[in-house]
Structure 1
Amino acid sequence: MSATKLLVLGIVHLSGGAHGYQVRSELQNWRAEIWAKIKPGSIYHALKKAAADGLLTEHAEPGNSGPERVLYRVTAQGRDEIVELVRDGLRRTHDPTMLDASIAMLPMLTRADAIAHINERVARLEAELVHQAKWREHPDRDIPEHVRDQAELWAGHARTELEWAKRLSKRLSEGAYTMADDPGSWRTAPDPLQMRF
């Protein structure tokens, strides 16, 4: 649910406000049903739950020759929740769906914040690999051989993820992406709700 919540809040925020159908369409364009395992019904549930929790506001709008539609906008509390979810997804290992959602919303963090949480992930992966290596050197005799092979598979995944995380941290340090504290980011762009015409 956290990945769905993060992506739904993030899409609404980055859109400046969106209807449920817009959120669903955007996530389908991102193919989130594959990498985040999001079902269409869970999108609408996440929108309603986030509104009930004060993370979104709801604004009824007349539909185009149809029923009323609800426009959702992210609240300040919702923006804070997005940032916390991205941080958590970056540092938490063994949750690839949440990692994918966090990478999709990475520009919600400042550059230093993103680097710090990715580096925390690096440290956790390194510690887990050390622990795994010790276990493989002296496995419990009662553990079947195929389970030890499974541990080798996990270690391979972890090594690949570790190298990827180090590269991402380096790229961010070198200025990749427009992050929350960069000119042109969601934080530095004028808020359409505050603009006067």
Structure 2
Amino acid sequence: MSATKLLVLGIVHISGGAHGYQVRSELQSWRAETWAKIKPGSIYHALKKAAADGLLTEHAEPGNSGPERVLYRATARGRDEIVELVRDGLRRTHDPDMLNAAIAMLPMLTRSDAIAHVGERVARLEAELVVRAEWQEHPHRDIPEHIPEHVREQAELWAGHARTELEWAKSLSKRLSEGAYTMADDPGSWQTVPDPLKMHL
């Protein structure tokens, strides 16, 4: 649910306001159903829940040739929530859906903030690989008798994924340090999207 929540809030924010159908269409164009396991029904549920929690505002608008539509806009709390979810997705291991969502919304963070949380992911992966290496040196000490010995292959698979992910995270940190991508504290960032309500005051 966190990945869906992050992407829904993010799409509404960077759009400056969006209807449910627009959010769904945008995420479908990103193929988010394949890398974040987002289902169409969960998008509308996430919008309603975010509005109920004060993360989005709802504005009824007359439909072109049908019933009223609801326009959603991110509140200040909603924008803060996006930032916290991106941070969490970057540093949390073993949650690929959340990591993918965080990468999609990476420019919501300042450059130094993004580097710091990617660095935390690097540290966690390195620590987990140390524990895994120790386990591989003394496997029988930690394997209960009822678990087949070949189950260690699962650990080998995970360690391979972790090493690849660690290499990627270090590379991302380096690219960010070298100025890659337009981040929240850069000119033209998503954070500078004008608030449509304030524009009409």
What TM-score comes out, normalization by structure 2 length? Answer: 0.95
Alpha-carbon deviation of 1:146?
Answer: 1.9
1:27 equivalenced with 2:31 (yes/no): no
Q: Does the 8 A contact of 1:182 with 1:188 survive in 2?
A: no
Q: Which residue of 1 aligns with 2:199?
A: 195
Distance 1:50 1:190, change over 3 A: closer
Aligned length: 197
Cα distance in 2 for residues equivalent to 1:3 and 1:189: 22
Q: Which residue of 1 aligns with 2:131?
A: 131
Q: Which residue of 2 aligns with 1:68?
A: 68
* Larger helix share, 1 or 2: 2
Alpha-carbon deviation of 1:147?
Answer: 1.3
Structure 1: tracts of 5 or more residues without a match:
none
Distance 1:162 1:30, change over 3 A: same
Q: Structure 2 matches for 1:25-174, cutoff 5 A?
A: 25-140=25-140, 142=145, 143-174=147-178
* Per-residue Cα deviation, 1:21-43 (whole angstroms, up to 9, x for no partner): 00000000000111110110000
Q: Which residue of 1 aligns with 2:186?
A: 182
Cα distance in 2 for residues equivalent to 1:52 and 1:14: 20
Cα distance in 1 for residues equivalent to 2:172 and 2:123: 14
Cα distance in 2 for residues equivalent to 1:97 and 1:115: 20
Structure 2: tracts of 5 or more residues without a match:
none
Q: Which SS does the other structure have where 1:193 is aligned?
A: helix
Alpha-carbon deviation of 1:189?
Answer: 4.6
Q: CA RMSD in A?
A: 1.2
Q: Which SS does the other structure have where 1:175 is aligned?
A: coil
Alpha-carbon deviation of 1:187?
Answer: 2.4
Q: Does the 8 A contact of 2:14 with 2:193 survive in 1?
A: no
Alpha-carbon deviation of 1:194?
Answer: 2.5
Cα distance in 1 for residues equivalent to 2:15 and 2:2: 20
* Per-residue Cα deviation, 1:69-126 (whole angstroms, up to 9, x for no partner): 0000000000000000000010000000000000000000000000000000000000
What TM-score comes out, normalization by structure 1 length? Answer: 0.97
Q: Does the 8 A contact of 2:16 with 2:193 survive in 1?
A: no
Structure 1 runs of 4+ aligned residues shifted over 6 Å read none
Q: Percent identity?
A: 87
Cα distance in 2 for residues equivalent to 1:129 and 1:12: 38
Q: Does the 8 A contact of 2:107 with 2:184 survive in 1?
A: yes
Q: Does the 8 A contact of 1:181 with 1:188 survive in 2?
A: no
Distance 1:11 1:111, change over 3 A: same
